Amino acid sequence: MTSSSASTHHHGPAVGLSRWLYTTNHKDIGTLYLWFSFAMFLTGGCMALLIRAELFQPGLQLIQPDFFNQMTTMHGLIMVFGAVMPAFVGLANWMIPMMVGAPDMALPRMNNWSFWILPFAFSMMLSTLFMEGGAPNFGWTFYAPLSTTYAPPSVTFFIFAVHMMGISSIMGAINIIATILNLRAPGMSMMKLPLFVWTWLITAFLLIAVMPVLAGVVTMMLMDIHFGTSFFNAAGGGDPVLFQHVFWFFGHPEVYIMILPAFGIVSEIIPTFARKRLFGYPSMVYATASIALLSFIVWAHHMFTVGLPLVAEVFFMFATMLIAVPTGVKVFNWVATMFRGSMTFETPMLFALAFVVLFTIGGFSGLMLAIAPADFQYHDTYFVVAHFHYVLVPGAVFAIMAGAYYWLPKWCGNYYNETMGKVHFWCSFVGVNITFFPMHFIGLAGMPRRIPDYALQFADFNAVATVGAFMFGFSQLIFLYNVIHCIRKGRQASSEVWEGSHGLEWTLPSPAPYHSFSEAPKVK
């Protein structure tokens, strides 16, 4: 199906609002996910800018400490569950059926439901800002007993919202697995799947494994708050460290849920713009599976300072370092793909290259944090904030943007403005590094995270980081304008998108019998 016919074909009522409410078309639902995630990205981004504005200089300027804590909590939850994950699910909805040659997702009605749960979940979570006592103020990791004993009453609504997000994720994952395993085109074996499909298949299994764990831990919180249990309350025989074990058993695979689809996107984009087949396709599949399996045995590296037995610290330290091996395989394969390729640097490729470089920096700071005795110094400082933002912003978010630019002409039949795309890239790239690189320094110098005020010696780097944050934040408006302009007035795309625009051909990102877009492949 070409992009022009795709946009006119819909199931069910095709009139205005009801088309979007009742749609079972995977492209419509993918579009809904993507717009929703972008709205959440801007919402969470505004909260981040509030945080950075408060930290621009020492002393309290804009907001009170309690509201500052509410902002850190909401920013984290919205970015993780509202921006990054729905964006990847949106890309999966759009691309997976086309890449495997399926007419739609396997369970189209459930697909509609799993999207429409999300606006309600996040409306409920945002509504806690207007409740008595304010929104949850205990950080996105909502450690008990802080979140169960001293939390505002709105924590109950937060728990319900988390349950709804989890239900949505589980249904989306079931749908993706069913689609990939049951609806592949004849002759498309598993080892011929495009890598984006592979990474999402593995991610979907991770989601099904860990989302019930999150549901369990928030249900235990609910019991502690309302039903007099003491799972996490030491006064009643419970254990606060139990909360951390259960939370991070969910939380660590969760961070891989947010990066594996990014690996898939980058593995589709780099071969296209290097004009070479992806180097080492089978090793990429095995590396992805290895990362997913290892992600289940490293959770306590978030807990080196709780007083683990020495043998546990050693185990979690080495298990964490082991994850660097399959990740290194992936980085090597991306570099080998580019090596001696005929590279061009359109916007998707720029974002993909920035992903490889900056994600690797995030990986190295992660290795530093994996060293248990060193982690005693790094723990709960801005060094940790720098680390995970390097993984999630130039990692997950840049990959999502790369995928959006890469596939946008296929989605709407028009080209985006390439110059504007490059301006967006360079503003984002510079902004991200100005924001998060200084955080390594203030973290190593001892500045704790999640504080609204700080000692004088951290002032300069904080001012720099705030300037970078506003630069990065406002440059996303260029992206928004470019996407809307592309959809409404963009130059019409040819059927072979990158060939028509820039003398590129779609090369096979992976050895599939037919190309991702169900057109016979052209290989140089």
Among 27, 75, 389, 440, which one carries the catalytic annotation? 75
Written as six digits, the tokens of 76 are 């984290």
Among 302, 387, 440, 515, which one carries the catalytic annotation? 302
Among 20, 35, 116, 140, which one carries the catalytic annotation? 140
Among 52, 192, 252, 410, which one carries the catalytic annotation? 252
140 assigned to active site = yes
The string of DSSP codes covering 401-455 is HHHHHHHHHHHHSB---HHHHHHHHHHHHHHHHHHHHHHHHHHHTTPBSS-S---
Written as six digits, the tokens of 383 are 């060094």
- What distance in Å separates the CA atoms of residue 509 and residue 515, rounded to the nearest whole number? 9
Helices (H), 235-379: 240-257, 260-274, 281-294, 310-322, 324-338, 347-370, 372-378
254 assigned to active site = yes
Among 200, 256, 416, 506, which one carries the catalytic annotation? 256
22 assigned to active site = no
327 assigned to active site = yes
Measured CA to CA in angstroms, residue 294 lies from 247, 289, 298, 311 at distances of 17, 9, 7, 18
488 assigned to active site = no
Any idea which residue has 């700080």 for tokens? 454
Among 31, 73, 154, 168, which one carries the catalytic annotation? 168
256 assigned to active site = yes
330 assigned to active site = yes
365 assigned to active site = no
168 assigned to active site = yes
Among 43, 154, 267, 290, which one carries the catalytic annotation? 267
Among 3, 24, 73, 327, which one carries the catalytic annotation? 327
- What distance in Å separates the CA atoms of residue 96 and residue 86, rounded to the nearest whole number? 15
Residue 459 phi, psi dihedral angles, 5° rounding: -65, -45
Among 184, 301, 387, 410, which one carries the catalytic annotation? 301
75 assigned to active site = yes
Among 19, 422, 449, 485, which one carries the catalytic annotation? 449
Among 104, 239, 418, 496, which one carries the catalytic annotation? 104
Among 254, 268, 346, 375, which one carries the catalytic annotation? 254
19 assigned to active site = no
Among 24, 154, 169, 179, which one carries the catalytic annotation? 169
The string of DSSP codes covering 42-85 is HHHHHHHHHHHHHTTSSS--SS-HHHHHHHHHHHHHIIIIIIIH
Helix 240-257 × helix 281-294 angle, to 10°: 170
Among 330, 387, 440, 515, which one carries the catalytic annotation? 330
301 assigned to active site = yes
Residues annotated as catalytic (active site), given as ranges: 75, 104, 140, 168-169, 252, 254, 256, 267, 301-302, 327, 330, 449
